[in-house]
Amino acid sequence: MKLLLQSVKLIDTRSKHHLDNIDILIEGGVIKQIAKKIKVLPEYKVFKEKACVSPSWIDTNMHIYEPGLEYREDFKSGLKAAAAGGFGLSCIMPNTNPPIDNNAQLAFVKQAAQHALTEVYPYGAVSHKIEGKDLAEIYDMHQGGHSAFTDGSKAISNAGLLERALLYVKQFKGVVLNNPDNQDLSAGAQMNEGVNSTILGMLGAPKLAEELMVARDLFILEESDSRLHFINVSTKKSVALIKAAKAKGLTVSAGVNVANLFFDDDELLDYDTNFKVHPHLRNKEDIKALLAGLKDGTIDLICSGHKPLHIDEKKVEFENAAFGMSTIDCAFAVSRTATLKVLSDETLIEKWLKGYELIGLPIPKIEVGEKADLSVFNFEDSSTFQKENILSKGKNNPFIGRELTGSVYGIIKGNKTNIL
């Protein structure tokens, strides 16, 4: 295929063409030419839409439930949605059945997803069977090419296990990811603890449940001198704790889910189970702190937090509904809308690229001779998000009917694309 992108704006702070309007010619999956104007030949497929181009984005927090729970999401549906959402690489949580806790499971995931447009990076589990007791086969998984480990949506509650994992990955400059949630404080909670939980008569999770684990993990990190990433933070104090740790020189990073930038817990006043998520939706003061943390670099990256669920897991009484939100289809537009007054265009894109550093991979280069690995999008388009826009199996998406700014044409991965 010979594909010509005409007059696209390049968003790539590493490129000499950053912020320029250029033509990009791709032949055989490789960038052949970059110029102000490239002559159109009959054999070219031409993309003429008003668009921006950047290195393809990475999502560091996505659930695809193959093997074992494919009724929620499988690779075919999940990665098709990810590609439509603009993501060239999706990091898959290990919370499958069986869990991704050994090389055989990692190999299965890679093979099952090998024909998709979006590539996958499956995380290896920290603990055996994600039971939070014994270390999984971390060294073997590292030998298989992996350096990032997490128990995914299940917090690493055992302090000794976390310390051992941090010391273990330190040997090969790996990273441990944790979901900060102290279950001793949050067990049985349905939403954020506050005025709204009192009004609704529901058990709330105190912010302390997250903040206490963030503080604990940072103490352990300081002792181990390793690398730690918080998958998603949601409170003002968590941001302050991480900022102070970075100032001390600790190698810590953090992400935030798009939902926690967009919604607060007022959305739960109608008992809509699609807003029952983890981390819990907090209040406006917390959202303000999260946005400030993104702006000053305390929060390193934005992630989708995509957790698709079957309708039967949501269309039940609120206290019986599962936690989770389907977001991959609209994650970019949500992030653009939520950060419109806070982040510059290029800073927003950097937040969707920072995950490459987290897992130890280089950001794709937009240079002549390099493999085409691009996200194609528009910052300014506004539209109402519709159920028909959801390619994921999970329809538990609370952004349906919301006016969002920003759109995605798709991605280009070598000789394959979904933008035409």
* 59 assigned to some structural domain: yes
Share of residues in the chain with pLDDT > 90 (%): 100
Q: What tens digit of pLDDT does each residue of 294-333 get?
A: 999 999 999 999 999 999 999 999 999 999 999 999 999 9
Neighbour tally for 260: CB within 10 Å: 23
Average pLDDT rounded to a whole number, residues 275-290? 98
Reduced 3-state DSSP string for 164-176: HHHHHHHCCCCEE
Half-sphere exposure of 69 (CA within 13 A, CB side): 18
H or E element that contains 54: strand 52-55
Mean pLDDT for the chain?
A: 97
* 15 assigned to some structural domain: no
Contacts of 332 (CB under 8 A, 6+ apart): 57, 85, 86, 352, 377, 406, 408
Structural domain containing residue 104:
55-358
Average pLDDT rounded to a whole number, residues 183-187? 96
> What is the pLDDT at residue 353?
98
The token duo for 267 is 């959305």
* 218 assigned to some structural domain: yes
Rounded distance between C-alpha atoms, residue 166 and residue 57, angstroms? 27
Domains of the chain: total: 1
26-41 exposure pattern, b = at least 16 Cβ within 10 A, e = fewer:
bbebebbebeeebeee
Average pLDDT rounded to a whole number, residues 341-351? 97
> What is the pLDDT at residue 314?
98
* 273 assigned to some structural domain: yes
Is the distance from CB of 158 to CB of 148 less than 8 angstroms?
Answer: no
Q: What tens digit of pLDDT does each residue of 214-253 get?
A: 999 999 999 999 999 999 999 999 999 999 999 999 999 9
* 13 assigned to some structural domain: no
Closest CA to 325 of 61, 56, 87, 57: 61
Q: What tens digit of pLDDT does each residue of 105-148 get?
A: 999 999 999 999 999 999 999 999 999 999 999 999 999 999 99
Is the distance from CB of 275 to CB of 229 less than 8 angstroms?
Answer: no
Is the distance from CB of 155 to CB of 178 less than 8 angstroms?
Answer: yes
* 381 assigned to some structural domain: no
Rounded distance between C-alpha atoms, residue 212 and residue 184, angstroms? 11
Q: What is the CATH number of the domain that holds 232?
A: 3.20.20.140
Neighbour tally for 64: CB within 10 Å: 31
> What is the pLDDT at residue 57?
98
The token duo for 24 is 């990009």
Is the distance from CB of 371 to CB of 364 less than 8 angstroms?
Answer: yes
Rounded distance between C-alpha atoms, residue 326 and residue 391, angstroms? 10
Q: What is the dihedral of CA 125, 128, 134, 136, to 10 degrees?
A: -50
**Residue ranges of the alpha helices (H) in 16-158?**
75-84, 103-112, 138-143
Q: What tens digit of pLDDT does each residue of 56-86 get?
A: 999 999 999 999 999 999 999 999 999 999 9
* 46 assigned to some structural domain: no
* 370 assigned to some structural domain: no
